[in-house]
Amino acid sequence: MADAKKRIVILGSGFGGTYTARHLRRLTRHRNDVEVTLVSRDNYFLMTPLLFEAGSGVLEPRHAVNPLRPLLKGVRFVKAVVKGLDFEKKVVHTEFSEDENHDIEYDHLVIALGGVTNTSIVPGSDNAMRFKTLADAILLRNHVIELFERADVEPDPKRKQALLTFVIVGAGLVGVELIGELDEFLDHLSESYPHIDREQIRLELIEAGPKILPELEPELGEYAKNVYIKRGINVRVGTPVKEIEPTRIHLPDGTTIDSHTIVVATGVAPNPLLKDIAVEKDKKGRIVTEPTMRVKDRPELWALGDSASIPDPQGKPYPPLAQHAIREARVLAHNILAAIDNQPLKPFVYQSLGTLASLGHFKGVGRVLKFHVKGFVAWWIWRSYYLFQMPRWNRRFRIMIDWTVALLFKNDIVKLELFGISRESELADDTREARKPDA
Ligand SMILES: Cc1cc2nc3c(=O)[nH]c(=O)nc-3n(C[C@H](O)[C@H](O)[C@H](O)COP(=O)(O)OP(=O)(O)OC[C@H]3O[C@@H](n4cnc5c(N)ncnc54)[C@H](O)[C@@H]3O)c2cc1C
């Protein structure tokens, strides 16, 4: 009977949401008592580790994403922005367009809405760019190319220096990988501009903590730092930025750096939508779940990925990483069906297999199991791993072709004109939400 179906609604099409939907589809192939719906404002899945290359022109930006409809055949997909949740009525309020709203009913709800760049750490972060969504990557790339066009004709040396200074605030995985890829991109870019000397380009990586790449062992962070210093990148540690102005950054010792490109990579804050949800949250504002990813006292509510605080066997929350969200999704899909069938639930237990970071120029660094890997081998493992994490061969082939072309012909340096799209409207909704003063 159609109305006896259990309606599982998943919010968000990132690693958590997309993989949960895929596992549920597989597990319910022979069942007709369950209906799975995925709601997201994007009609694609974004492979965030490939965002760096999408921004630098190595990859065609569309190839860093995967269209959801072919990926999730058998799952109902609704492209809409989630506006609110009503736990009493078991309804998700969504907005299709400004004057078109819809309510979606559920029996089980999975919250996988991810996070936003944390702008609460450094004063003035709203003046900086960020690097989280596909729009952010395209925006940064266009911005950099535009600055080169301006710098190429700029007669004033001081103004030219500010145009050619690139600052990344935050030296965790995202900041470190971003500056490595940016450095490679700027190398290629400068070859096409006769009045820009590579020596005039200044790159700054600024970290408040005592070392870069705190996710890895100190020796590996030190390796990455030395690689960057050799390339001429200025790496500052123990330097909590005092303030960011639109084209100037203030350091604690009174130094200022004039730059037209300041990017904050200062970690993840939860999706602003979670603020209004009446469930237990941790200090960071993430939804606290049981080890099974079920929300306490809400048997019909589940959460995973960057939105969730899922305790490991020692009670410590798992980190907000794709490799965890992918594994969480498998257990969560199993657990929802177990809950529907009145079967016991499994706790999520995962020991990370390692962490890798690309440093650009065919170099990487990281740990795989207990082994430290550096240089070309680390870069190669990093690339191959994420290639195979991208669902569907159709996408993998496109990525491999882009990589081969980039190897032979260098990065694409075309500025994509997004006609009629202002900087603000290019930003993803959660970014705009997060920028509201009360968010
Ligand atoms: C540049 C970058 C590189 C990274 N590299 C790595 C890496 O190499 N390895 C690694 O393990 N992790 C990496 N991460 C972290 C990883 O991307 C996250 O941990 C992972 O994406 C979390 O998955 P998620 O499903 O919780 O959230 P997300 O992947 O962020 O997905 C959230 C989804 O919710 C949707 N959404 C949000 N708000 C709404 C709304 N109101 N209405 C409708 N839909 C909404 C979004 O559009 C998105 O589809 C990286 C992150 C970034 C930013």
The span from the CA of 75 to the CA of 68, in Å, is 10
Per-residue pLDDT band for 374 (boundaries 50, 70, 90) equals: very high
Grade residue 392 by pLDDT with cuts at 50, 70 and 90: confident
* DSSP states of 80-134: -EEEEEETTTTEEEEEEETTEEEEEE-SEEEE---EEE--SSSTTGGGSEE-SSH
At residue 407 the predicted structure's pLDDT band, cuts being 50, 70 and 90, is confident
pLDDT at 120 over 70: yes
Domain contains 347: no
- pLDDT for position 97: 81
Is the CB of 55 inside a 6 Å radius of any atom of ligand 1? no
Q: Give me ligand 1 centre to Cα 312, in Å.
A: 21
387 secondary structure, DSSP code: H
Report, as an integer, the average pLDDT of 42-66: 90
Question: What is the C-alpha to C-alpha distance for residues 85 and 413, in angstroms, rounded to an integer?
Answer: 43
Same-domain check for residues 308 and 324 = yes
**Statement to judge: residues 142 and 174 lie in one domain:** yes
Ligand 1 atom at shortest distance from the alpha carbon of 305: 26
Q: What string of DSSP letters covers 285-313?
A: SPEEB-TTSEETTEEEEEE-GGGEE-B-T
Compute, in angstroms, the gap from residue 306 CA to the centroid of ligand 1: 7
Query: Cα(196) to centroid of ligand 1, in Å?
Result: 36
Helix (H, G, I), strand (E, B) or coil at 270: strand
Give the model's pLDDT for residue 420: 45
Predicted confidence (pLDDT) per residue in 220-255, tens digit = 999 999 999 999 999 999 999 999 999 999 999 999
175 lines ligand 1 (CB under 6 A): no
Which atom of ligand 1 is nearest to 268's Cα? 53
Does residue 46 sit within a domain? Answer: no
- Domain hosting 301: range is 2-41+80-117+269-340
Residue 65 placed within a domain? no
Cα of 317 from ligand 1 centre, angstroms: 17
Measured CA distances, 92 to 6, 60, 61, 110, 285 (Å): 15, 34, 31, 11, 20
Q: How confident is the model at residue 99 (pLDDT cuts 50, 70, 90)?
A: confident
322 lines ligand 1 (CB under 6 A): yes
CA of 267 to the centre of ligand 1 (A): 12
Shared domain check, 329 and 251? no
> Which residue's CA lies nearest to atom 5 of ligand 1?
49
Closest ligand 1 atom number to CA of residue 178: 1
% of the chain with per-residue pLDDT over 70: 92
418, containing H or E segment: none
Residues 235 and 359 in one domain: yes
Whether 104 is in a domain gets the answer yes
pLDDT tens track for 297-350? 899 999 999 999 999 999 999 999 999 999 999 999 999 999 999 999 999 999
Could you give the CA distance from residue 114 to residue 269 in angstroms, rounded to a whole number? 9
Final residue belonging to a domain, choices 313, 340, 367: 340
CA distance 344 to 335: 8
Q: Is the pLDDT of residue 428 over 80?
A: no
**What atom of ligand 1 comes closest to residue 49's alpha carbon?**
5
- 285 with 259, same domain? no
Choose one of 300, 318, 340: the last residue of a domain. 340
What pLDDT sits at residue 317?
Answer: 96
Q: Is the pLDDT of residue 358 over 70?
A: yes
Question: Residue 355 and residue 195: Cα distance in Å, rounded?
Answer: 40
What's the CA-to-centroid distance between 14 and ligand 1, angstroms? 5
Mean pLDDT, residues 405-418: 69
- State mean pLDDT over 44-52: 94
16 occurs within a structural domain: yes
Most confident of 105-109, 181-185, 377-381, 412-416: 105-109
Name which residue sits closest to atom 23 of ligand 1, judged by CA.
15
pLDDT given for residue 415 in this prediction: 63
Q: What is the pLDDT at residue 87?
A: 94
Q: 272: Cβ below 6 Å to ligand 1?
A: no
Q: Is the pLDDT of residue 437 over 70?
A: no
- Assigned domain for 224 exists: yes
Beta bridge partners of 111: 11, 303
For residue 304, the model assigns a pLDDT of 98
Q: Would you state the pLDDT for residue 432?
A: 45
Assess contact for 21 and 69: CB atoms under 8 A.
Answer: no
- Mean pLDDT value of segment 111-133: 95
Q: In this structure, which residue's CA is closest to atom 6 in ligand 1?
A: 49
Residues 234 and 362 in one domain: yes
- Give the whole-number percent of the chain exceeding pLDDT 90: 79
Of 171, 178, 89, 176, the C-alpha closest to 132 is: 178
Instruction: Please tell me the predicted confidence (pLDDT) of residue 402.
Output: 86
Residues 169-185 have pLDDT tens digits of 999 999 999 999 999 99
Strand partners, 289: 295
pLDDT given at position 334: 98
Report if residue 109 sits inside a domain: yes
Q: Is 9 in the pocket of ligand 1 (CB under 6 A)?
A: no
Is residue 207 included in any domain, yes or no?
Answer: yes
Cβ(364) – ligand 1 distance below 6 Å? no
Q: How far, in Å, are 30, 211, 287, 354, 416 from residue 312 at the CA level? A: 33, 26, 15, 17, 44
Same domain, 144 and 169: yes
Q: How many separate domains does the chain show? A: 2
Residues 113 and 165 in one domain: no
Last residue of a domain, one of 288, 311, 340: 340
The per-residue pLDDT of the chain, averaged, comes to 91
Question: Is 51 touching ligand 1 by the criterion CB < 6 Å?
Answer: yes
Question: Which mutation among 82, 306, 330, 332 tests ligand 1's pocket best, with the greatest number of atoms within 8 A of CB?
Answer: 306
What atom in ligand 1 is closest to the CA of residue 115?
Answer: 30
Residues 242 and 368 in one domain: yes
pLDDT category of residue 193 using cuts at 50, 70 and 90: very high
Mean pLDDT of 6-30: 97
Distance, CA of 328 to CA of 346 (rounded, Å)? 11
Give me ligand 1 centre to Cα 110, in Å: 15
- State if residue 221 touches ligand 1 by the CB under 6 angstroms criterion: no
Same domain flag for 154 and 28: no
Q: Which atom of ligand 1 is nearest to the CA of 51?
A: 1
The burial class, CB within 10 Å (0-12 / 13-18 / 19+), for 156 is exposed
CATH number (domain holding residue 201)? 3.50.50.100
Model confidence band, residue 96 (pLDDT cutoffs 50, 70, 90)? confident
* Confidence check: pLDDT of 438 > 60: no
Mean pLDDT computed over 54-63: 86
410 and 319 in a common domain: no
Residue 352 clears pLDDT 60, i.e. is over it: yes
Give the separation between CA 354 and CA 281, rounded to whole angstroms.
28
Residues 234 and 202: beta-carbon distance below 8 Å: yes
16 CB under 6 A from ligand 1? yes
**CA 26 to ligand 1 centroid distance, Å:** 23
> Domain check: are 227 and 153 in the same one?
yes
Q: What is the CATH number of the domain that holds 289?
A: 3.50.50.60
Distance from the alpha carbon of residue 383 to the mean position of ligand 1, in angstroms: 19
pLDDT at 417: 61
Is residue 429 scored above 90 in pLDDT? no
The answer to whether 345 and 168 have CB atoms below 8 angstroms apart is: no
* DSSP letters spanning 37-74: EEEESSSEEE-GGGHHHHHHTSS-GGGGEEEHHHHTTT
